[in-house]
């Protein structure tokens, strides 16, 4: 009997020692975790689980490490281990579903959520993940439904849920519903602790409601306004015609980041509108010195408008150096070259402009002239045809095409084009006379006589 009691006592002692070992490993693992020594923490926590596989506290500590290291497959392993011993541990299902979302494994996330809702149909965390998943699946109506359920289940999350509902309705372009929920969030978040004003403002901006967006965003405490916010305020007030407020916010943005030459360019334009030429020149100089291509382009354009072509050329060349992909700079440079007699350079500049924007009529028109001057008639025909396609109701476009066809000896096409001119502009004497010539070249004397008669009726001699 004494031997039996001694054996039982030894078994109990062994059990206590084993328990002490796994708990000691766990505590050491937690200490390593607290100081950021994740490798040693992981090692100790795994030792604890070897000794006691159902020790879920160790599983959760490991999950924390794996989430920090973004080792998501290992997170899933630990969640499955917890569920193995605690099949109704809802937090494990929530973490597992959220991890599947991070891995973009949406079908498995949906399956995990179904398991969770079978245990706890009112899981707020699950519904939040479910709403995000529904958005990913393109089912925004289901996402909105789940979020509305959370408002009743967790009133403390009212502001956050209203914000998310608002954002969902913005994505659906249902701005009336978006505004409703975002305004509810703003009313509840009286101190704007959750940046609800910004969310509402950007919803207005997306809906092109710049007046409401500017009004809302300007209510945000100035210390919370970042560069993006200041820029949007400048843009919005400019679009609504309030130059003073646009200048106010653009200047705040420029003071915050003087490297933003584009903002200096905007300020130059606004001051120009207000008639403050001194300030406009000051900011334009800052923008151009900083290499902003739009500022350089505007400087060149001002000189171009005054027909100071030679002086404008360096500005357009610098603009192109800053951004060679803007067709407008190439076109303007081509025009300046053409006006100063540098026609080879003009041709290259116009062709580059056309490469960047094939439907820019100004470029096409100049190219038609240059190709015609150089007797490059096939090229002149191509650009003239393109002009007619872009401006099918413009008699001048058809007139240019008719002339090219005539020079190419295509008298039938030339006659057809001139006929289109007089159809669009019956009082165009030159077109009637040229139509008379085209018909004569075709040997159609009757139609030629009719065209000549019309020309004479209009006062032609």
What local confidence, expressed as pLDDT, does residue 17 receive?
43
**pLDDT < 70 regions, the chain:** 1-20
The dihedral through the CA atoms of 8, 9, 14, 18 has a sign that is positive
Measure the CA angle with vertex 41, ends 36 and 42; round to 5°: 120
Note the pTM of the prediction, 2 decimals: 0.56
What local confidence, expressed as pLDDT, does residue 4 receive?
52
CB 262 within 8 A of CB 254: no
* Angle of the 140-153 helix axis to the 158-171 helix axis, nearest 10: 170
What local confidence, expressed as pLDDT, does residue 225 receive?
92
Question: Which DSSP symbol is given to 375?
Answer: T
b/e for 412-442, b at 16 or more Cβ within 10 A?
A: ebbbbbbbbbbebbeebbebbbbbbbbbbee
**Alpha helical stretches, state H, 55-105:** 56-68, 72-85, 90-102
User: Which residue segments constitute the domains of the chain, with CATH numbers given?
Assistant: 154-216 (1.25.40), 358-461 (1.25.40.10)
What local confidence, expressed as pLDDT, does residue 68 receive?
95
Quote the CA–CA distance of 235 and 436 in Å, as a whole number.
56
Give which of 178, 191, 179 is closest to 220, Cα–Cα.
Answer: 191
What local confidence, expressed as pLDDT, does residue 6 receive?
46
Give which of 162, 135, 163 is closest to 148, Cα–Cα.
Answer: 162
User: Residue 342, by phi and psi: left (phi above 0), alpha (psi -120 to 50) or beta?
Assistant: beta
Quick: pLDDT tens for 207-239.
Answer: 999 999 999 999 998 889 999 999 999 999 999
Quote the CA–CA distance of 323 and 292 in Å, as a whole number.
9
What local confidence, expressed as pLDDT, does residue 380 receive?
95
* Angle of the 90-102 helix axis to the 124-136 helix axis, nearest 10: 20
b/e for 194-216, b at 16 or more Cβ within 10 A?
A: bebbbbbbbbbbebebbebbbeb
Quick: pLDDT tens for 74-91.
Answer: 999 999 999 999 999 999
What local confidence, expressed as pLDDT, does residue 28 receive?
94
């Amino acid at each position: 009997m004494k031997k039996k009691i001694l054996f039982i006592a030894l078994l109990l002692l062994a059990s206590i020692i084993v328990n002490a070992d796994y708990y000691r490993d766990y505590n050491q693992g937690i200490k390593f975790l607290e100081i950021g020594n994740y490798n040693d923490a992981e090692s100790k926590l795994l030792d604890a689980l070897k000794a006691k596989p159902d020790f879920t506290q160790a599983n959760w500590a490991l999950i924390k490490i794996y989430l920090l290291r973004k080792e998501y497959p290992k997170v899933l392993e630990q969640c499955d281990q917890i569920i193995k011993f605690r099949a109704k541990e809802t937090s494990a299902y929530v973490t597992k579903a959220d991890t599947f979302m991070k891995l973009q494994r949406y079908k498995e996330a949906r399956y995990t959520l179904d398991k969770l809702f079978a245990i706890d149909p009112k899981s707020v965390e699950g519904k939040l993940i479910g709403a995000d998943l529904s958005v990913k699946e393109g089912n925004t109506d289901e996402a909105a439904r789940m979020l509305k359920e959370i408002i009743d289940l967790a009133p403390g999350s009212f502001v956050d849920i209203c914000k998310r509902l608002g954002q969902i309705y913005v994505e659906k372009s249902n701005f009336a519903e978006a505004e409703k929920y975002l305004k509810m969030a703003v009313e509840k978040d009286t101190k704007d602790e959750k940046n609800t004003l910004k969310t509402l403002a950007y919803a207005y901006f997306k809906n092109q409601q710049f007046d409401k967006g500017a009004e809302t965003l300007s209510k945000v405490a100035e210390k919370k306004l970042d560069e993006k916010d200041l820029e949007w305020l400048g843009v919005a007030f400019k679009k609504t015609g309030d130059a003073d407020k646009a200048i106010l916010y653009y200047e705040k943005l420029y003071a915050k980041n003087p490297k933003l030459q584009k903002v200096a360019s905007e300020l130059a334009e606004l001051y120009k509108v207000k008639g403050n030429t001194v300030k406009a020149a000051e900011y334009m100089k800052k923008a151009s010195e900083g290499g902003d291509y739009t500022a350089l382009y505007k400087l060149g354009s001002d000189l171009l408008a005054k027909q100071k072509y030679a002086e404008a050329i360096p500005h357009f060349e610098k603009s192109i150096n800053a951004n060679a992909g803007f067709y407008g700079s190439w076109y303007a440079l081509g025009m300046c070259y053409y006006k100063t007699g540098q026609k080879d350079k003009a041709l290259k500049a116009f062709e580059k402009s056309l490469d960047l924007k094939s439907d820019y009529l100004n470029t096409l028109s100049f190219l038609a002239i240059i190709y015609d001057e150089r007797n490059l008639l096939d090229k002149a025909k191509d650009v003239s045809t393109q002009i007619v396609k872009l401006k099918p109701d413009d008699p001048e476009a058809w007139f240019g095409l008719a002339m090219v066809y005539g020079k190419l000896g295509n008298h039938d096409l030339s006659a057809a084009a001139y006929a289109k001119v007089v159809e669009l502009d019956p009082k165009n004497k030159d077109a009637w006379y040229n139509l008379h010539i085209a018909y004569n070249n075709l040997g159609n004397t009757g139609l030629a006589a009719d065209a000549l008669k019309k020309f004479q009726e209009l006062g032609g001699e």
